[in-house]
Structure 1
Amino acid sequence: MQRFLMAALLAAPVVVASAPAPAQTSSLQQISQHLRGVNTMTADFAQTDRNGKTLTGALTLKRPGRIRFQYQKGVPLLIVGDGKALTMIDYQVRQVSRWPIGNSPLSVLLDPSRDLSRYAKLVPSGDPNLLLLEGRDPKHPEFGTITIAFAKSASAPAGLLLQGWSVLDAQGNRSMVRLSNQRFNVPVSDKTFRWNDPRAKGPAR
């Protein structure tokens, strides 16, 4: 279960060495403008693994660097990010694990100051209203490929709406996160990113 959940949220560093074409530069700038224009975001998510199993929940993002994946009722897991690492809390087995965010899709969302052209490129989507941002490390193909989807939307920051992302590993297995009911720049309390440590009694972290 933990492997399935983290596979759709994490990937190894993504690097694209070639310089972007002018059209790519324009679209990458639009994506960067969108990311910089989002201080907070809430959304529903559906996370699907290679076997078609789906879990749902609520996503909350607040810059700088905070994100929370609250899974559906009955799933005793919580994922909270502080900008440097993701913490997964498994309340069923009372276990806490941490993974570096590194250059995963979440780092793109949490650090909009980064230069997208240095490690990602646009790929054809077949839809003029959809931008697909792809990242991978050609030196380490075993790390897989990340694709992040943005739909054009006049009502969203910089005219783009984050729709989700997918991870394709070296074995051809794909996991996907789809977002819905996105809301931008709404009030989000810092308390949202606290969590109770199941390993010992004490205050929320």
Structure 2
Amino acid sequence: MAGLIAIAPVFVPWFFGNEFLAVSPVMMVEAIAIIPIICSQLMGMQYLVPTKLTKIYTKAIVIGAIINFVINIPLIFLWNAVGTAVATVFSEFFIAIFEFYYVFKKIKPSRAFEGILKLIVASLIMFVIVKVLTMLLPTNIITAFMEVLIGMVCYIAMLYFFKFQMLNSIVTSVVRKFRP
């Protein structure tokens, strides 16, 4: 999410062309939806569906779709495409919160958010670095690829520095695959 928001001003003109510069703020707002979508997918597909709470999962999706439709109408008139992105973000947060409510009745919230502070700090540091590069460097394909690469390296380095447990598990798994 943070990387997409940071790189949108460089990515949009390169990928879509200068005539689509208005897409950049839409992409930046829509990127925020990544977080609640991931959360709702994890809660829904990894917990609610396997534990036979499919009705709750379905209810969350249906209510979220209705909310999206209802708030899209005024927001489109107010902010055009950005309004649609805001409505999507709002409805996705609703779905995630609705699912969290039911999941947290069964498991401790602290287990679900274990290590999240490390992810947030790593994302913020990466965002600042990529955003500064976006402001200092010219807009072109080389800059876009360079910013993505630097952002990835920075994020992974921060997770390594913070001793993020999942990163260690991934590295161990990759190393095992390449060992003879």
Regarding TM over 0.5, the answer is no
**Is the helix fraction higher in 1 or 2?**
2
Q: TM-score, normalised by structure 1?
A: 0.26
Q: TM-score, normalised by structure 2?
A: 0.28
**Is the strand fraction higher in 1 or 2?**
1
